[in-house]
């Protein structure tokens, strides 16, 4: 990128941030396919600080969430796809230094490259501004996705939610039964019943695997339980 103000101008425009050490951010925005210092080491550091920032925020925001719940919530925010989306919204792809091959193949739009560059940028922020400032800026970038997170319990699959609901009421676990298998071995459809005898509820589920059919049947039982509760 033949721009004497890169990356300072981009940082001020996109992040409202003025770097102390611009060289850190030049490396953060340089893919390994390009010449010069690249962002691989900063990506390693940034991965850790992004996970820390989000983990601490979720820990404080969801005081009743279990470790599993918090891990599932964090994955919604810090996996490759959401980080790449944030990077694209920041216009990070336009600021990246790429080698000729990656430039020709559209590397500035590739999710893995964008997500890695965002993490590298966060690593540079940590070194340039310190942990507190880096966390604040990271959470600012991720704020819309953090705000849109669903309640932790809804991230569990239906079978797990049904099991936990029954256990919380000291009721026997559901019984799943394969009622029918149709089709050739590589294109089978499973029909499964789910029975909760203690509540007098049964349901059916269909799917391309036994597990999917069981999940559908469990989801239908949960719907019946919710409907029954709303009638009271």
- The catalytic residue positions are 47, 119
d(CA 75, CA 90): 20
**Residue 122: CB partners within 8 Å, gap ≥ 6?**
45, 46, 49, 50, 134, 137, 138
Cα–Cα distance for residue pair 230/68, rounded to 1 Å = 29
Give the span between the Cα atoms of 95 and 108, in whole angstroms.
Answer: 9
Q: Do residues 25 and 124 make contact, with C-beta atoms less than 8 angstroms apart?
A: yes
3-class DSSP state for residue 10?
A: helix
Nearest to 120 by CA among 38, 34, 192: 38
What sections of 110-150 are H helices per DSSP?
A: 111-129, 131-147
């Amino acid at each position: 990128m033949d721009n004497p103000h890169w990356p300072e101008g981009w940082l001020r425009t996109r992040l409202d941030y003025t770097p102390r050490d611009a060289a850190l951010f030049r490396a953060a925005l340089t893919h390994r396919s390009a010449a010069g210092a690249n962002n691989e080491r900063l990506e390693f550091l940034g991965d850790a600080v992004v996970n820390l920032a989000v983990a601490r925020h979720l820990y404080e925001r969801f005081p009743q969430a279990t470790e599993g719940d918090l891990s599932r919530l964090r994955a919604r925010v810090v996996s490759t796809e959401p980080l790449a989306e944030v990077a694209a919204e920041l216009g990070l792809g336009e600021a990246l230094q790429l080698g000729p091959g990656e430039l020709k193949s559209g590397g500035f739009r590739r999710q893995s490259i964008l997500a890695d560059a965002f993490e590298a940028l966060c690593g540079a922020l940590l070194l340039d501004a310190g942990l507190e400032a880096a966390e604040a800026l990271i959470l600012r970038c991720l704020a819309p996705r953090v705000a849109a997170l669903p309640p932790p319990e809804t991230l569990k699959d239906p079978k797990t939610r049904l099991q936990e609901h029954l256990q919380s009421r000291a009721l026997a676990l559901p019984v799943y039964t394969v009622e029918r298998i149709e089709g050739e071995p590589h294109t089978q459809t499973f029909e499964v019943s789910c029975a909760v005898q203690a509540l007098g509820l049964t349901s059916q589920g269909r799917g391309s695997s036994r597990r999917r059919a069981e999940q559908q049947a469990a989801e239908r039982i949960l719907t019946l339980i919710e409907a029954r509760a709303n009638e009271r």
